[in-house]
Structure 1
Amino acid sequence: MNRKEFLGLTGGTIIIAGATYYGFSDKSNFVRADIGSDSQVKTQLTADEQHILYLSSLAPSGHNTQPWLIKYIEPLHWIICNDKRKWLPAVDPMQRETILSIGAFIQNLEYAAHNRGYRCEFSLMANTNQDEKVMDVKLIRSGNLFRYNSTSILQRRTVRSNILSEGLKADDVHLLIDNEPDYVHFIQRTAKAYHYLNEQTIEANRIQSYRNAAQKELANWIRFSNTDAETYRDGLTTGSMEIEGISGWIVRNFYGKSNVMGKSFRDQNIHQVEKQVASSGGWFLLTSKDASVASLIETGRRMQRLFLKVRDKNIAIHPMT
């Protein structure tokens, strides 16, 4: 029995037999909107600093580990650090994707600072992907800056299902490439490379899903219950994985790490990837100048700029690595 069949069959049984229990159980998904920028934790940060760092923290990262750490130096002066506790050694042994994620965080930070009327002075500190101190940043008040609309940061999301297979409009492709043809490449559905990327992405996910170390690492970052989601404020929730309704309720109340290691969970993940790549309107391929820390950070920033543009155009996007 695969995961989809399990959810469908047990759902009906529990609705009938467990109606009373349902009233006292974990009924709704814990989602990003449940987490506001207000914090009950006492801090020396100003309201502007808290707001900027809150928006920065909404950047994407592998398994939503949020591998950044802020070292406070003085007001409007911080060091962005690489949090080793959030590394993914099984799937990212050289911390390449960690640095990409920190780059996305830095892009959010700059946009959020602009939103509050500051400009940023960045100074790279890291020489390797493993260095703790990555970037020194100073925020300087400037009333002449364009006030970035932070709504796009709040609304950014990864779309996992119901993706249309329509081709993108030429104007939209041009906007998303944004004069960066050396680093952002669009592969249309009709291109031979499109089918090659589909095949290799499916195969890569198949290999990773059946690597026990990688699957165990994934299991450690899934927050099955709302209690865990609210406690840790990171990882993958049922909401972020788009497991909604009765299926979501079953997973939140009855699933655990052991289920992730099972064959049905692994196969369902591969099946989901197959559907995603088959229904896409094309690929955006992002490349970097080289593998240096500076280039990876800039690529992460470029990736985040792309992510933040698509919502206004009603374009769904799902990153694959």
Structure 2
Amino acid sequence: MELTRRKMLGIIGGGTVIAAGAGFGYHVTRPLEVALKPWKLAGQYDDVRRNVLSYALLAPNPHNRQPWMVDLSTDNEITLFADLDRLLPHTDPYSRQITIGLGCFLELLRMAAAQEGYGVAFDLFPDGSNPEALDLRPIARVTLNAGAGDPDPLFQYVMERRSTKEPYDLTRPVAAGTLATVADVVINGGSAGGTVDPDDIDELRALSLRARLIETETPHTYKESFDLFRIGRKEVDANPDGIDFSGPLFETARSAGFLSREAALDPASQVYSGGIDYITNNSMTAMGFVWLTTQTNTRTDQINAGRDWLRMNLAVTPLDLAMQPMSQALQEYPEMAEEYAAIHNRLAPQGETVQMLARVGYGPKVAASPRWTLENKIIT
């Protein structure tokens, strides 16, 4: 959740905040130092496994939890585990979305290996899996095979890939053919759909907004996101995961005492109401929707959905098309049951599982998301 730029500027511009001196200006405009280093280090390792992993950890994932840990103790092999301290038990009670994020990680790993001429063999859930919960068993054992990889044309867009959470341009429609191009990159067993029909957009905007408000107005699900707020550069650099509130706007608000955890948790505060405004304005600028379904909902289906979702996210990048997951209606907790049924009736009437839903449109260029370093993700 964020304050709207208009509301924040109104607070600051109303005379409540007075920036004193150049030191204050430097403080609020100072960039992230630690949290963006992994983007600069990607591809800079001599060891092939570390090199491909340095790209894989840039994959999209729910709430930027980065729920991956890897074991490199066996030569020529990478064993992927879920970090059980990074689950989202309230909004993602069966860790379906976390598993999708791990699938994104694996597909980006595969692409990075292929770029260096290595093929990849995945042994998914080699010791079995539990559909109700992730556990300590491995998600995948990955073997690299030299000379067996063919570069993937989507890999060239890895460093520019973003999840754009800003409002989109209401004056720029998205062509139906554009979405067909995005759907064409799905190769791992899922089925991609999309629409730019005005009636469909209105319906899905409204449904997505209802779901986002339910998540925000339900205390235990909102608290889960609230606990992951990283407010200001120092907090983001110290914990480069979760929900990032950094940049000049938020540094100014935090320094002035307007943006605080206490205010964000108080439904009567201007910060909280500003967040509701942001959710509403953001959701209602969708200029189209894309989604991804699977016939069944096994753990392997979820991994493969993540692999295809990463591909779709990369495919929109050269089109200058922005994408933001709007997966709240797909969450399986009781308060979301009505919206969950509605989105499945709408997009998966034959009983499929909707694994991902996103709004698309033309939006501003945004910064990369913070990341933990590779060293933080290797089991020692």
* Worse-matched range after superposition: 97-106 or 168-177: 168-177
Contact 2:119–2:147 (8 Å) recurs in 1: yes
2:274 alignment partner, one of 268, 271, 279: 268
Match of 1:291 in 2: 297
Q: Which moved more, 1:128-137 or 1:304-313?
A: 128-137
The Cα shift of 1:21 comes to: 5.1
User: What amino acid does structure 2 have at the position aligned with 1:297?
Assistant: I
- 1:304 and 2:306 correspond: no
Aligned amino acid, residue 98 of structure 1: I
Task: Give yes or no for the alignment of 1:185 onto 2:177.
Answer: no
Structure 2 match to 1:214: 221
2:123 aligned with 1:109: no
Task: Return closer, same or farther for 1:36/1:287 CA change in 2, 3 Å cut-off.
Answer: closer
SS in 2 for 1:25: helix
Q: Measured at CA, do residues 228 and 286 of structure 1 come closer, stay the same or move farther in structure 2, by a change above 3 Å?
A: same
- Per the TM alignment, residue 168 of structure 1 is displaced from its structure 2 partner at its CA by 2.3
Alignment-mate amino acid for residue 77 of structure 2: H
SS of equivalent to 2:135: coil
Larger deviation, residues 257-266 vs 300-309: 257-266
The one-letter amino acid paired with 1:18 is A
AA partner of residue 206 (structure 2)? E
C-alpha distance 25-75 of structure 1, shift in aligned 2 (>3 A): same
What residue number does 2:94 align with?
A: 94
Following the alignment from structure 2 to structure 1, what is the Cα–Cα distance between the partners of residues 231 and 46?
34
Q: Is the 8 A contact 1:159 1:318 kept in 2?
A: yes
Counterparts of 1:57 and 1:298, CA distance in 2: 17
Q: Greater shift after overlay, 220-229 or 304-313?
A: 220-229
State whether residues 185 and 311 of structure 2, in contact with CA within 8 Å, keep that contact through their aligned partners in structure 1: no
Between 93-102 and 65-74, the greater mean CA deviation after superposition: 65-74
**Structure 1 residue 135 corresponds to structure 2 residue 140:** yes
Q: Match of 1:201, SS?
A: helix
Q: Distance in 1 between matches of 2:228 and 2:124?
A: 29
Shift of 1:162: 3.9
1:318 is aligned to 2:328: no
TM-fit CA distance, 1:16: 3.5
CA contact (8 A) 2:114 2:149 kept: no
| Contiguous gaps of at least 5 residues in structure 2 | 328-380
TM-score by length of 1: 0.85
Look up the equivalent residue of 1:261 and give its one-letter code.
Answer: L
Measure how far apart 1:124 and its partner are: 0.9
Instruction: Confirm whether residue 257 of structure 1 aligns to residue 261 of structure 2.
Output: yes
Secondary structure of 1:259's match?
helix
Q: Deviations over 1:202-238 (max 9, x none)?
A: 1111111112222222122121121221222212222
Contact kept, 8 Å, 1:11 with 1:250, in 2: the verdict is: no
Q: Secondary structure at the match of 2:58?
A: coil
Give the TM-score taking structure 2 as reference length: 0.73
| SS in structure 1 at match of 2:323 | coil
Task: Quote how far apart the aligned CAs of 1:183 are.
Answer: 1.3
Deviates more, 1:123-132 or 1:139-148: 139-148
TM-aligned CA deviation for residue 34 of structure 1: 4.1
- Give the one of 239, 243, 247 matched to 1:236: 243
| Distance change >3 Å, CA 119–CA 189, structure 1 → 2 | same
Match among 151, 174, 182 for residue 168 of structure 1:
174
| CA RMSD, Structure 1 to Structure 2 (Å) | 2.7
Query: Is residue 115–residue 149 contact of structure 2 (8 Å, CA) maintained in 1?
Result: no
Task: Structure 1 unaligned segments of length 5 or more: list them.
Answer: 40-44
Alignment partner, residue 200 of structure 1: 207
Is the Cα contact below 8 Å between 2:154 and 2:311 reproduced in 1? Answer: no
Q: Show the counterpart of 2:121.
A: 121
Q: Deviations over 1:40-82 (max 9, x none)?
A: xxxxx85322221121111111210101111223233011111
In structure 2, relative to structure 1, the CA distance for the partners of 1:288 and 1:226 (3 Å cut) is same
Q: Could you say if the C-alpha distance between residues 226 and 17 of structure 1 is closer, same or farther in structure 2, counting changes exceeding 3 Å?
A: closer
Whether the aligned pair in 1 keeps the contact of 2:39 and 2:159 (CA below 8 Å) is no
SS in 1 for 2:308: helix
